[in-house]
Chains A and B, each alone.
Chain A
């Protein structure tokens, strides 16, 4: 009976894969309705399976730990002496939450895409890629060992590349795809090295085996090899989850279609790094240095990206920097050991950021492709449903209670404040400041898009009705996500506010080591938590008020302020010149050395040289032999006779010449 749902787990990744195969091979010839139906069907079924899995697991009540992994026999992948890896999936509470996000939000976004992509070229290609992404993402979260996780990891990277460059005829989109792929490659290099180290030290890549063996050795606390593994894994996570120093690909990834930004670059794929760190929490718990680095990178990324997001004008780029910033929060949570808080924020962020992106897509759709918030405004009355849905997302991300973002963000800030990290106060202040900035930039977006006078070109033709609400296939997902953004946080209402902190209890079996933070929480009591919550709400409201003054009450204020602090504004507006810095420091020298050394010396010298040498040698030999073919029959006969004489001479005198055998 306990094995009953497990045998169906394989269908969760395999169904989207089947959808990919159908749409990828036959999609070109199928009508759009069929392509859409196939894509929806093969993502709806895994979502239903996940729901079923969830209910059966919760019904049994027993915590399903990673030990009870599902290993059907005959799925050996690599089996050699001393090393073993197989196609094994494992389901625990962490996986369940991730699966719910991936399949649930994934399905909602698929529904939205049917409407959004209706008029686009390559409809079948889009859904084939999207289904392939669902396959790889499910593999990633279900994997029971690092190797299979890496397969999903690389697979989602591939799909991300394919979908960023979906409009591949546009040079900027194609370049953005390449940038994302190459930057991720740097992270993957770290991941690979970490895996090699794991094999070297544990002889296995199995989660259960590695974590068990680490847990057995408390004396490894702070061991150098564990720190190395954790830092290398963190490099991989920073690449995938767009953290400093590898965040630069995510803003450019906005070149892809908006549903892709919502699904891959906000809700699911970019959270894979957070998931991985949380999954390896046993390793990180044994390496205070690595945890410190995680926390610092998270906090730095959060404030850094939020500050850039405050001055962007492209609606999707604001959201992209916001995503980076929120991912920074999740890393901060993991870094202070509050993995459950990080996963909680991952969950709520998946809801409200997917909502924000989809609503932004709806706005872009309404304005026929306009993405510049300076050319929006006044959309509140024209697209009311989009406005209300987006407002839910805006209030959620800004951390206004009782919307979902408040609970998760507040939990992270609280956990940071009470953690044992020596920099906890600094980290907390950074997080708090970021919360204010988040509130500011998101309300800035909100005011500029939906309030004030319309700044876009009024299209005269009444046929298309100018600015309009999108079709219901797009509105319905918005409404569902809006509901989730409002209520999604209620699963984790802290006990200080009269809740039961459900999500942390739910994740307790996974993060059992979190007992320390629990104890700390017990000693500080609810008073501190309440005070901190009030402080963070005040900061969020302050962000709202500033945005209100700048962009609603006195619209010129921000521009004047920017004018007065031109240098600072320029610095932020140009994203701290990081792209230029990387270009001058890494890309240009690399290109120059490639052109100077590899092309001149290796390509022209060695590769071309050897090819040319062999060609001219062949030609010389041909010239020699061609001289022989004179067409004079007697010369042939002469050569024949000489040859025969030579053979005879060897036969007769050979033994005396080279010695008798």
Chain B
């Protein structure tokens, strides 16, 4: 039996990697992937907790997160494609139209 703490540590590591990648990467697709990584780290926490407390609600919540993530991936990819079509770049530092 793997202790719950291991799952949580793994989830924390995944989340930190996600954040770090989000902050340092410039490519929009990479940033997008790091967001997915963070979402999955949260999912792992949910599942681990649900297992620990013998509660099914955490598991159900994961399904919701996955559905939202799928929808978000679809919308996000569409945005990325249209950005690429108009600007021929995926570098976020150059996409700063809303800067004051």
In the complex the two chains form, is A638's CB within 8 Å of B98's CB?
no
Asked if A629 is an interface residue, CB under 8 A from chain B, the answer is yes
Per the CB 8 Å criterion, the residue count for chain B at the interface is 13
Q: Select one of A629, A634, A637, A641 contacting B99, CB under 8 A.
A: A629
Residue of A nearest to B34 (CB): A637
Give Cα A634–Cα B30 distance, bound, in whole angstroms. 13
Q: Select one of B19, B92, B93, B95 contacting A641, CB under 8 A.
A: B19
Per the CB 8 Å criterion, the residue count for chain A at the interface is 10
Asked if B2 is an interface residue, CB under 8 A from chain A, the answer is no
Asked if B1 is an interface residue, CB under 8 A from chain A, the answer is no
In the complex the two chains form, is B22's CB within 8 Å of A637's CB?
yes
In the complex the two chains form, is B23's CB within 8 Å of A634's CB?
yes
Give Cα A637–Cα B95 distance, bound, in whole angstroms. 15
Asked if B52 is an interface residue, CB under 8 A from chain A, the answer is no
In the complex the two chains form, is A630's CB within 8 Å of B99's CB?
yes
Nearest-Cβ distance from residue B41 to partner chain A, whole angstroms: 13
Against A, the Cβ 8 Å flags (1 = close, 0 = not) of B84-100 are 00000000110111111
Number of CB contacts from chain A to chain B under 8 A: 26
Nearest-Cβ distance from residue A97 to partner chain B, whole angstroms: 79
Asked if A626 is an interface residue, CB under 8 A from chain B, the answer is yes
Nearest-Cβ distance from residue B34 to partner chain A, whole angstroms: 10
User: What residues of B have a CB within 8 angstroms of the CB of A632 in the complex?
Assistant: 92-93, 96, 99
Main secondary structure of the interface of A (DSSP, over half): helix
Residue of A nearest to B98 (CB): A631
Against B, the Cβ 8 Å flags (1 = close, 0 = not) of A617-637 are 000000000100111111001
Residue of B nearest to A633 (CB): B92
**Listed residue (A629, A630, A631, A638) with the most chain B CB atoms within 10 angstroms of its CB:** A631
User: What residues of A have a CB within 8 angstroms of the CB of B22 in the complex?
Assistant: 634, 637
Interface residues in B45-100 by Cβ distance below 8 A to A read 92-93, 95-100
Residue of A nearest to B96 (CB): A631
Residue of B nearest to A630 (CB): B99
Nearest-Cβ distance from residue A621 to partner chain B, whole angstroms: 15
Interface residues in A233-273 by Cβ distance below 8 A to B read none
Give Cα A638–Cα B31 distance, bound, in whole angstroms. 13
In the complex the two chains form, is A629's CB within 8 Å of B100's CB?
yes
In the complex the two chains form, is A638's CB within 8 Å of B93's CB?
no
User: What residues of A have a CB within 8 angstroms of the CB of B95 in the complex?
Assistant: 633
Residue of A nearest to B97 (CB): A631
User: What residues of A have a CB within 8 angstroms of the CB of B24 in the complex?
Assistant: 634
User: What residues of B have a CB within 8 angstroms of the CB of A630 in the complex?
Assistant: 99
In the complex the two chains form, is B23's CB within 8 Å of A637's CB?
yes
User: What residues of B have a CB within 8 angstroms of the CB of A638 in the complex?
Assistant: 23
Against A, the Cβ 8 Å flags (1 = close, 0 = not) of B20-34 are 001110000001000
A641-B19, A641-B23 known; A634 vs B92 contact (CB < 8 Å): yes
Nearest-Cβ distance from residue B8 to partner chain A, whole angstroms: 13
Against B, the Cβ 8 Å flags (1 = close, 0 = not) of A75-108 are 0000000000000000000000000000000000
Residue of A nearest to B20 (CB): A641
Give Cα A632–Cα B95 distance, bound, in whole angstroms. 8
User: What residues of A have a CB within 8 angstroms of the CB of B96 in the complex?
Assistant: 631-632
Give Cα A630–Cα B100 distance, bound, in whole angstroms. 7
Nearest-Cβ distance from residue A644 to partner chain B, whole angstroms: 9
Residue of B nearest to A631 (CB): B99
User: What residues of A have a CB within 8 angstroms of the CB of B100 in the complex?
Assistant: 626, 629, 631
Give Cα A632–Cα B23 distance, bound, in whole angstroms. 10
Residue of A nearest to B26 (CB): A634
Residue of A nearest to B23 (CB): A634
User: What residues of B have a CB within 8 angstroms of the CB of A631 in the complex?
Assistant: 96-100
Give Cα A638–Cα B19 distance, bound, in whole angstroms. 9
Nearest-Cβ distance from residue B28 to partner chain A, whole angstroms: 9
Nearest-Cβ distance from residue A18 to partner chain B, whole angstroms: 62
Nearest-Cβ distance from residue A628 to partner chain B, whole angstroms: 10
Give Cα A559–Cα B93 distance, bound, in whole angstroms. 98
User: What residues of B have a CB within 8 angstroms of the CB of A626 in the complex?
Assistant: 100
Give Cα A112–Cα B100 distance, bound, in whole angstroms. 72
Give Cα A641–Cα B24 distance, bound, in whole angstroms. 13
Give Cα A630–Cα B95 distance, bound, in whole angstroms. 12
User: What residues of A have a CB within 8 angstroms of the CB of B19 in the complex?
Assistant: 637, 641
Give Cα A637–Cα B32 distance, bound, in whole angstroms. 13
Give Cα A629–Cα B97 distance, bound, in whole angstroms. 12
Residue of A nearest to B95 (CB): A633
Interface residues in A489-528 by Cβ distance below 8 A to B read none
Give Cα A152–Cα B22 distance, bound, in whole angstroms. 78
Nearest-Cβ distance from residue B5 to partner chain A, whole angstroms: 16
Nearest-Cβ distance from residue A646 to partner chain B, whole angstroms: 14
Interface residues in A571-630 by Cβ distance below 8 A to B read 626, 629-630
Residue of B nearest to A645 (CB): B19
User: What residues of B have a CB within 8 angstroms of the CB of A634 in the complex?
Assistant: 22-24, 92
Give Cα A476–Cα B97 distance, bound, in whole angstroms. 84
User: What residues of A have a CB within 8 angstroms of the CB of B93 in the complex?
Assistant: 632
User: What residues of A have a CB within 8 angstroms of the CB of B31 in the complex?
Assistant: 633
Give Cα A633–Cα B23 distance, bound, in whole angstroms. 9
User: What residues of A have a CB within 8 angstroms of the CB of B92 in the complex?
Assistant: 632-634
Give Cα A630–Cα B98 distance, bound, in whole angstroms. 9
Nearest-Cβ distance from residue B24 to partner chain A, whole angstroms: 8
Give Cα A641–Cα B92 distance, bound, in whole angstroms. 18
Residue of B nearest to A634 (CB): B23
Q: Can you sample 7 A-B contacts with CB below 8 Å?
A: A626-B100, A632-B96, A633-B31, A633-B95, A637-B19, A637-B22, A637-B23
Please provide the 9 A-B residue pairs with the shortest distance between their CB atoms, ordered closest to farther.
Answer: A631-B99, A631-B96, A633-B92, A634-B23, A629-B100, A637-B22, A641-B19, A638-B23, A637-B23
Interface residues of A (CB under 8 A from B): 626, 629-634, 637-638, 641
Known: A631-B97, A631-B99, A641-B23. 5 other contacts (CB 8 A): A630-B99, A634-B22, A634-B23, A634-B24, A638-B23
